[in-house]
Every structure is written in structure tokens, then in C-alpha cells.
Amino acid sequence: MKTTKPGAPNEEMRRKNLGALLRYVHLNGPTSRAVLAEKLGLNRSTIMGLTAELTALGVVKEELPDDTCRAGRPSLVVSPETDRVFVLAFDVAVDRLLAARVGLGGVILDRREAVRQRKYPDLDDVVGTLAEFARQLLRNVPRDSVCVSVGASYCGMIRPADGIVRFGPNTGWVDQAFGPELERRLALGLPVRVGNEAHLGAVAENQRGAGIGFRNLIYLHGDVGVGGGIVVDGKRLDGNDGYAAEVGHMIVNPYDGRPCGCGSRGCLEAEVGEAALLSAANWPPGLTGRDAVASVVHAAERGDESARAALNRVGDWLGVGVANLINLFNPGVVVFGGMLRDVYRGSAAQVRNRIVADVLPVSRERVQLRIAALGDDTTLVGGAELGFAELLDNPVEVFRRGYRHRL
Ligand SMILES: [Zn+2]
């Protein structure tokens, strides 16, 4: 395999430009050469050379635009090879396992889902199910397609360097070799990248969802617990070891708070998570999951007083958490994802009241509150983007080492 020699500035520049062009069409879809030249700040002959190389490689295609009636020679449109170039993406939540084949351009081409019993899952079971899903997904790929990487999102604290789950408060996992084990069981000869679900969700909403165009964003993801992802000046905040933004364990109610799965008391997650809402609403024990959360919101809309009171209480605590985050990070947008979409829908007035009361006036002048635009797929799409990251950094080498399924 050809590698870029250190100290070869032209090669390095070309690799960067190839990556920048591929990233642009991956995130923005079909784009004319003229627009690419303008957006990337490169001249048209450079763009022509780059698209020729990426076309020959097989990661983009060039076509005449649909609208060819205008006078003059039309600028060819460059599109990602969505059907041919893909990643395998996985999403491990407390209640469900998701696997998908996601094409370049971020299109979900095929997917599998398993709903799981809520008990502490076994590493072997989880990895075995995901590997079986992968086999099914790869069986259906078109001829000549290439899997360039594998990305997975996990509902707990991940060490990104090696994909070890350090701590999953709601799965009971401590120091489990999830990434390495998944890589071994898939046996595709590809690295498996693993990230925290809310970190990856923040990036997904920033690139493709409710946070497009924002340089500073906070994403709050409700599963059973509450995870957080923070984008600062366009970059994901990882912290020293990859464990940053555990906003669910920010202490908001230390003296009278509910016990949290992390062993502490009064964490944001303990006050606004699924269990807090269902118990405040006096919902029958045994009803859990997103449907149960949604049923509280619907009941409140129909005038059920205990559901309304529960949402008011939870919305107030959610507002306390968001207010602290706005004061700390001055985000342009706060995005609510997972089951917090329903909670926020049902308690937006409480959240906003708390922000008005507690956030410094100049910090809340322009902040927007939004619901995740990618719906149930925010964290899955985040896992896919983690998979695509290496290809976009180094298209030629990463595409060449990709897995080609023999039909
Ligand atoms: Zn906690």
C-alpha cells in the first residue's frame, strides 16, 4: 500500500484537498464543480483534478445537472457514491440494539433492530447479536460495494482510544472490551471505532440535524439516563480521556435529590430521567421505556393532573440543568434528543421559565432550544459519522483498505 511520506508537502496538501472535497459532498449532497471551487477556495482546474481522482477511486460520481437548459456549458455535479461506499454503524442503547448500513452522504440503506429485555446485558450476547446483524446487512450489498469502516455508539463512558466501555451506569458494564470484541467477531479486517452515544449524537445533530450551522451546541440525550455532548467552536469536547460532558451526573439537587445509578444523589439524570418522570406521575411499576414516557406526555395533554405535575417537576429540573450549561458554555443551540424529545415537548414552558430565571441575561439573548431533527436515529447516525471520519481524512488509503464482500 502506498503511504504518504512525511515531508512531502504536495502529497499532504492533495490528501487534505481530496478529504475536504469528499467531506463537502458527504455532508451537503450533490454539488456542482463551480460551487465546490467557491466553497473550498480552490481554482476550477484543481477541483477538476480532485474530482477526477475521487471518481477513478470510486467514491464520487460526476453527472450533468438536471437543469441543462441554461446558456453556456453546465458545471458537472459531483455526488457521493452512496450505494457503493458505506460504513456499518451500530447503536447500543439500554433497551435496544441497532445496526445499519449507512452510505456515503449519510443515507441509511438498510437496518436491523432488536428490542432487549431491560436487564444487565452480557457482552457476548450484545456483540453476538450485532455481528449477526452485520452478516445479514452484508449479505444484501450490491456488487462492487465497499465497507470502509465500522462505527458504534454506546450508552456509557467509553475510552475512545481502544473502545473499552469503562462504565455503563445503566448496563452494569465496567471495563468491558466492547470495541475489541466487536472487531474480533465481525472479522472484516477493519478497525471498529466506538464513542459515547451523546457525544456522537451531538456531532450528528450538528452536521445533519437541528444544529446545522452552529459552532457551539449542547446535545442532551435521554435514554434511561441522560447523556450529554458538547460542541465548542466547531469541535466536540472530549476532555482529557474522552469522558467529558457527563451532564447527566451534574449535581443539581444534592440534599433532597433522588439516588442516581452512578452512586451519587440528585444528579440531573436522577431528577429528569425516565424513572424520575414515571415515579412522579405515579405510573404503574413495570411500565418503562419510551412508550411509557410518551404516555405521560399524552396524558398531561389530555388533562391528567398527576402526569401534568410530574412533567412540571421534571421540566423544572431539566431547566436547572440547561441553565447551568448555558451559563457555562454560551451555546447557540441546545438540542433535546432520545426520550428528552417527549419530555421537552411536554414541559417546554417550565424549561424556559427556569432559563429566564437562572441564566445571565446576556447569555440567553440568542440561545435556541430545539428538538433533535434526526429523531430516533441521532445516535446511530453519530456512530456512522465516526466510521466515516477516517475516510474523509484520507480517502485514498482508507478506501483501498476497505472490506469488499465477495458475493
Ligand atoms: Zn449520577
| Cα-to-centroid distance, 81 and ligand 1 (Å) | 43
- From CA 112, how far away is CA 110, in angstroms rounded? 7
Rounded to the nearest 10 degrees, what angle do helices 44-57 and 9-28 cross at? 80
First vs last C-alpha separation in the chain: 25
Q: Rounded to whole angstroms, how far apart are CA atoms 204 and 374?
A: 8
CATH class of this structure's domain 8-66+73-80: mainly alpha
Beta bridge partners of 111: 100
* Listed residues: CB within 5 A of ion ligand 1: 249, 260, 262, 264, 267
Kindly report the CA angle at 105 between 43 and 46, in degrees rounded to 5? Answer: 15
pLDDT for the residue 128:
97
Domain covering 85-200+379-400, topology? Nucleotidyltransferase; domain 5 (3.30.420)
Q: State the distance from the centre of ligand 1 to the C-alpha of 246, rounded, in angstroms.
A: 9
Quick one: pLDDT at residue 170? 85
| Secondary structure element (H or E) that encloses residue 267, with its range | none
Nearest to 234 by CA among 209, 210, 217: 217
- The amino acid present at 274, given as its one-letter code, is E
d(CA 247, CA 323): 12
* Cα(127) to centroid(ligand 1), Å: 26
Q: How far is the CA of 257 from the centre of ligand 1 (A)?
A: 11
Q: Give the DSSP per-residue string, 35-99.
A: HHHHHHT--HHHHHHHHHHHHHHTSEEEE--S---SSSPPPPEEEE-TTTEEEEEEEE-SSEEEE
CB 75 within 8 A of CB 138: no
Q: Collect all residues with Cβ–Cβ distance below 8 Å to 186 and sequence separation of at least 6.
A: 88, 131, 134, 150, 192
**Interatomic CA distance for residues 385 and 148, integer angstroms:** 12
* Distance from Cα 259 to the centre of ligand 1, integer Å: 8
- The amino acid at residue 370 is R
Q: How far is the CA of 303 from the centre of ligand 1 (A)?
A: 32
Q: How far is the CA of 258 from the centre of ligand 1 (A)?
A: 10
pLDDT tens-digit map of 228-239: 999 999 999 999
* C-alpha of residue 260 to centroid of ligand 1, in Å: 5
* Contact (Cβ atoms closer than 8 angstroms) between residue 127 and residue 169: no
> For each successive 10 residues of the chain (407 residues), what is the average pLDDT?
61 95 98 97 96 97 79 85 97 95 98 86 94 96 94 96 93 95 97 97 98 98 95 97 96 95 94 96 91 96 97 98 98 98 97 96 95 97 98 97 83
Distance from Cα 158 to the centre of ligand 1, integer Å? 16
Q: How far is the CA of 164 from the centre of ligand 1 (A)?
A: 20
CA distance 66 to 107: 21
- Got the DSSP string for 107-123? EEEEEEEEE--SSPPPH
In CATH terms, the superfamily for domain 212-373 is: ATPase, nucleotide binding domain (3.30.420.40)
From the CA of 161, how far away is ligand 1's center (Å)? 24
The ranges of the chain annotated as CATH 3.30.420.40 are: 85-200+379-400, 212-373
346 C-alpha to ligand 1 centroid (Å): 24
SS3 212: coil
Q: What is the pLDDT of residue 191?
A: 95
Nearest alpha carbon to residue 293 among 336, 235, 252: 336
Expressed in angstroms and rounded, the spacing between residue 225 Cα and the centre of ligand 1 is: 9
